Amino acid sequence: MQKLSADIFRVGVIDRQIDLFEGMYAVPEGVTYNSYVIKDEKTAVIDSVDGAFGCEWLKNIETVLNGTKPDYLIVQHMEPDHSACVAEFVKKYPDAAVIGNRNTFVMMEEFFGKDIAPNRITVKDGEQLSLGKHTLKFVFAPMVHWPEVMVTYETETKTLFSADAFGRFGADDNAEWMDEARRYYIGIVGKYGVQVKGALKKISEYEIKAVAPLHGPCLTGKALNEAMRAYLLWSDYKPESDRGTLIAFTSVYGHTAAAARMLADELEKRGEQVKVLDLARDDWAECVAQAFRFPKLVLATTTYNADVFPAAREFIDRLTERNYKNRTVAFIDNGTWSPVAAKIMRAKFEKCANIKFAETEVIIRSALNGQSIAKVKALADELITL
Ligand code: FEO
């Protein structure tokens, strides 16, 4: 538990046991499911937690309420990592009203069946609720990350309860924010940049002194400014800086890896910031996040079954399904007898908006030789100018 202000408490839980978040994202440092209590003349609880932690969450609420009862449960997001314990809450506090929007209650009935929350208040976008000195404004943020999502602005402390937005993986609040926030955002919400941008525009009307997300630490001051800047860039599909290259490779016997590392050395000699990741071994969500971080991407892979090596093919799918755009892309293709991977990869990226291709294409026949080494160097020369 954490006291955020005189009346606002963080009452969520830490999950260190989870193997895969949403069944697909590795979270070796765990994840938090945040929930909040605002105590006033009326008391509101914001969101619940994952189903494995209902008892702990209700106990946390009980401790903060110190013998009093909550008046409202605000359901900002119906994804089960936040809504799984709504039924337990209603059972324990049947007099409390459950607040959501029309879509919230449709999903609630889908997940839990009818009549889980007979005592309900259905709010509209922009509607307000006074708790006493704290007034809450509900701002709909559809597709950040599901259609029913709304965020809640609290006027007294100027806190934005931001649902999934501004969240990050990792249970340690003191850990660095950016890398795990980027991996979380690009992985989970990356496809919905337009909607995130829309939500950012809506909340820009409010003075925000603190952001209280559903995962990760609450943000204030410099950390909040950095997070806002990152969200503006990410939602606009812009890289975080003007320079920098991700070299993402696969390698069957080490020869393509050698070419990827040679290119990295050549780029670094020319002053470029470079990150090299192995698509078959490094965390896939990190590979995707780093591709969105940098303005340039080099894919070094093999032709395999007259197509692209599977890990590279999946990587491209994961980029394109998240609306990868506004970047420079280059290819290194290793094909022992009939290299076609570069051509196939290029066709996939041609469907993305605003992709510029390097003119230099490196084709390796099995292993680097004088000719392909010269091409790697030429690619480094070209990339540095793009
Ligand atoms: Fe953290 Fe979209 O749920």
Mean pLDDT, the chain cut into blocks of 10 residues (386 residues total): 96 96 98 98 98 98 97 98 97 98 97 91 98 98 97 98 98 97 97 97 97 98 98 98 97 98 98 98 98 98 97 98 98 96 98 98 96 98 96
93-114 pLDDT tens trace: 999 999 999 999 999 999 998 8
Distance from the alpha carbon of residue 120 to the mean position of ligand 1, in angstroms: 22
Ligand 1 geometric centre to CA of 334 (Å): 40
Distance from the alpha carbon of residue 324 to the mean position of ligand 1, in angstroms: 22
Q: What is the pLDDT of residues 235-281, one digit of tens each?
A: 999 999 999 999 999 999 999 999 999 999 999 999 999 999 999 99
Query: Which ligand 1 atom sits nearest the alpha carbon of residue 164?
Result: 1
Task: Please provide the distance, in angstroms rounded to a whole number, between the alpha carbons at the two ends of the chain.
Answer: 49
Closest atom of ligand 1 relative to the 146 alpha carbon: 2
Q: How far is the CA of 180 from the centre of ligand 1 (A)?
A: 15
CATH number 3.40.50.360 given to 245-385: yes
pLDDT of residue 266: 98
| Predicted local confidence at residue 311, as pLDDT | 98
What is the structure's pLDDT at 79?
98
CA of 228 to the centre of ligand 1 (A): 19
Taking the centre of ligand 1 as the mean of its atom positions, its distance from the CA of residue 139, in whole angstroms, is 17
So what's the pLDDT on residue 382? 98
- As its CATH architecture, domain 2-235 has 4-Layer Sandwich (3.60)
Atom of ligand 1 at shortest range from CA of 188: 2
Closest C-alpha to ligand 1, atom 1: 164
> What residue ranges of the chain are covered by domains with CATH 3.60.15.10?
2-235
Residue 80 CA to ligand 1 center (angstroms) comes to: 8
The pocket around ligand 1, CB under 6 angstroms, is made up of 77, 79, 81-82, 145-146, 164, 214-215
Q: Give CATH 3.40.50.360 domain extents, the chain.
A: 245-385
Ligand 1 atom with minimal separation from the 145 CA: 2
Closest-CA residue, ligand 1 atom 3, reads 79
Supply the pLDDT for residue 115: 82
